[in-house]
Protein backbone atom coordinates (compact mmCIF):
# COMPACT_ATOMS: atom_id res chain seq x y z
CA UNK A 1 0.00 0.00 0.00
CA UNK A 2 2.84 2.41 0.80
CA UNK A 3 4.38 1.84 -2.63
CA UNK A 4 1.16 2.89 -4.36
CA UNK A 5 0.97 6.01 -2.20
CA UNK A 6 4.56 6.90 -3.11
CA UNK A 7 3.87 6.38 -6.81
CA UNK A 8 0.70 8.46 -6.59
CA UNK A 9 2.60 11.27 -4.86
CA UNK A 10 5.23 11.26 -7.61
CA UNK A 11 2.63 11.23 -10.39
CA UNK A 12 0.66 14.11 -8.89
CA UNK A 13 3.67 16.42 -8.64
CA UNK A 14 3.82 19.41 -10.99
CA UNK A 15 6.10 18.80 -14.00
CA UNK A 16 8.89 21.11 -12.79
CA UNK A 17 8.93 19.38 -9.42
CA UNK A 18 9.04 15.95 -11.07
CA UNK A 19 12.15 16.94 -12.99
CA UNK A 20 13.83 18.39 -9.90
CA UNK A 21 12.85 15.31 -7.86
CA UNK A 22 14.31 13.00 -10.53
CA UNK A 23 17.47 15.12 -10.64
CA UNK A 24 17.74 14.99 -6.83
CA UNK A 25 17.32 11.19 -6.79
CA UNK A 26 19.90 10.61 -9.54
CA UNK A 27 22.36 13.05 -7.97
CA UNK A 28 21.85 11.46 -4.54
CA UNK A 29 22.52 8.01 -5.99
CA UNK A 30 25.72 9.23 -7.66
CA UNK A 31 26.86 10.94 -4.45
CA UNK A 32 26.12 7.82 -2.40
CA UNK A 33 28.04 5.63 -4.85
CA UNK A 34 30.97 8.04 -4.84
CA UNK A 35 31.08 8.23 -1.05
CA UNK A 36 30.94 4.45 -0.78
CA UNK A 37 33.41 3.36 -3.42
CA UNK A 38 35.64 6.18 -4.67
CA UNK A 39 38.48 8.01 -2.91
CA UNK A 40 37.76 11.17 -0.92
CA UNK A 41 39.91 13.33 -3.22
CA UNK A 42 37.17 13.01 -5.86
CA UNK A 43 34.53 14.22 -3.40
CA UNK A 44 36.77 17.02 -2.16
CA UNK A 45 36.56 18.67 -5.58
CA UNK A 46 32.77 18.80 -5.27
CA UNK A 47 32.88 20.50 -1.88
CA UNK A 48 34.42 23.77 -3.05
CA UNK A 49 36.78 26.18 -1.32
CA UNK A 50 37.69 25.40 2.28
CA UNK A 51 36.63 27.75 5.10
CA UNK A 52 34.97 30.41 2.92
CA UNK A 53 31.37 31.60 2.96
CA UNK A 54 29.51 33.39 0.19
CA UNK A 55 28.38 36.92 0.99
CA UNK A 56 25.82 37.92 -1.63
CA UNK A 57 22.19 38.92 -1.84
CA UNK A 58 19.85 36.31 -3.24
CA UNK A 59 17.16 37.19 -5.75
CA UNK A 60 13.51 36.19 -5.22
CA UNK A 61 13.89 33.58 -7.99
CA UNK A 62 16.89 32.08 -6.19
CA UNK A 63 14.99 32.01 -2.90
CA UNK A 64 12.15 30.15 -4.61
CA UNK A 65 14.62 27.66 -6.09
CA UNK A 66 16.17 27.13 -2.66
CA UNK A 67 12.74 26.38 -1.23
CA UNK A 68 12.02 23.87 -4.01
CA UNK A 69 15.41 22.22 -3.51
CA UNK A 70 14.76 21.95 0.23
CA UNK A 71 11.47 20.15 -0.39
CA UNK A 72 12.97 17.85 -3.02
CA UNK A 73 15.79 16.87 -0.64
CA UNK A 74 13.18 15.95 1.98
CA UNK A 75 11.33 13.83 -0.60
CA UNK A 76 14.60 12.28 -1.75
CA UNK A 77 15.39 11.35 1.86
CA UNK A 78 11.94 9.80 2.21
CA UNK A 79 11.71 7.90 -1.11
CA UNK A 80 15.27 6.84 -1.95
CA UNK A 81 16.05 3.13 -1.68
CA UNK A 82 19.57 3.81 -0.39
CA UNK A 83 20.78 5.42 2.81
CA UNK A 84 20.52 9.19 2.57
CA UNK A 85 22.50 10.32 5.55
CA UNK A 86 23.17 13.96 6.38
CA UNK A 87 26.42 14.10 4.39
CA UNK A 88 24.82 12.57 1.30
CA UNK A 89 21.90 15.00 1.40
CA UNK A 90 24.09 18.03 2.10
CA UNK A 91 26.38 17.23 -0.81
CA UNK A 92 23.41 16.47 -3.08
CA UNK A 93 21.85 19.82 -2.19
CA UNK A 94 25.14 21.62 -2.79
CA UNK A 95 25.44 20.10 -6.26
CA UNK A 96 21.81 20.92 -7.12
CA UNK A 97 22.22 24.54 -6.02
CA UNK A 98 25.58 24.90 -7.77
CA UNK A 99 23.94 23.84 -11.05
CA UNK A 100 21.56 26.78 -10.58
CA UNK A 101 24.32 29.27 -9.66
CA UNK A 102 23.12 29.59 -6.08
CA UNK A 103 25.94 29.81 -3.53
CA UNK A 104 25.83 27.56 -0.48
CA UNK A 105 28.09 26.39 2.30
CA UNK A 106 28.44 22.78 3.44
CA UNK A 107 29.36 22.46 7.12
CA UNK A 108 30.90 19.45 8.82
CA UNK A 109 30.79 19.36 12.59
CA UNK A 110 31.22 17.08 15.59
CA UNK A 111 29.79 16.73 19.06
CA UNK A 112 30.75 14.56 21.99
CA UNK A 113 27.81 12.81 23.61
CA UNK A 114 28.37 10.43 26.54
CA UNK A 115 31.98 9.87 25.53
CA UNK A 116 31.13 9.14 21.89
CA UNK A 117 31.78 11.44 18.97
CA UNK A 118 28.98 12.08 16.52
CA UNK A 119 29.49 13.76 13.17
CA UNK A 120 26.96 15.78 11.23
CA UNK A 121 26.85 17.65 7.92
CA UNK A 122 24.45 20.39 6.95
CA UNK A 123 23.98 22.83 4.12
CA UNK A 124 23.28 26.55 4.43
CA UNK A 125 22.57 29.08 1.72
CA UNK A 126 23.94 32.62 1.50
CA UNK A 127 20.98 33.92 3.56
CA UNK A 128 21.78 31.35 6.32
CA UNK A 129 18.76 29.15 5.57
CA UNK A 130 19.51 25.52 6.50
CA UNK A 131 18.27 23.31 3.67
CA UNK A 132 19.59 19.94 4.83
CA UNK A 133 20.67 18.50 8.14
CA UNK A 134 18.10 20.33 10.25
CA UNK A 135 18.56 19.58 13.91
CA UNK A 136 19.92 21.47 16.90
CA UNK A 137 23.09 22.68 15.21
CA UNK A 138 24.25 24.59 18.29
CA UNK A 139 25.36 21.26 19.77
CA UNK A 140 27.94 20.77 17.01
CA UNK A 141 31.40 22.25 16.85
CA UNK A 142 32.11 23.22 13.24
CA UNK A 143 35.20 21.39 12.01
CA UNK A 144 35.24 22.69 8.42
CA UNK A 145 33.02 24.40 5.92
CA UNK A 146 33.15 24.57 2.16
CA UNK A 147 31.71 27.03 -0.34
In order, the DSSP letters of the chain are -HHHHHHHHHHTS-HHHHHHHHHHHHHHHHHHHHHHHS-HHHHHHHH-SBT-----PPPHHHHHHHHHHHHHHHHHHHH-SS---HHHHHHHHHHHHHHTT--EEEEEEEEEETTEEEEEEEEEETT--EEE--S-GGGSEEEEEE-
Q: In this predicted model, which residue has the larger pLDDT, 61 or 53?
A: 61
Which pLDDT band holds residue 1 (cuts at 50, 70, 90)? low
Which pLDDT band holds residue 49 (cuts at 50, 70, 90)? confident
Q: What does the pLDDT average to over 81-94?
A: 90
Q: Evaluate if residue 13 carries a pLDDT over 90.
A: no
Q: In this predicted model, which residue has the larger pLDDT, 9 or 110?
A: 110
Amino acid sequence: MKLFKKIKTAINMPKGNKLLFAEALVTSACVRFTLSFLPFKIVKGWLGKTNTRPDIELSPAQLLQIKKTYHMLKLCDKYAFWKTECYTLALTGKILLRRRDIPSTLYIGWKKDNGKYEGHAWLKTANDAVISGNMDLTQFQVNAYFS
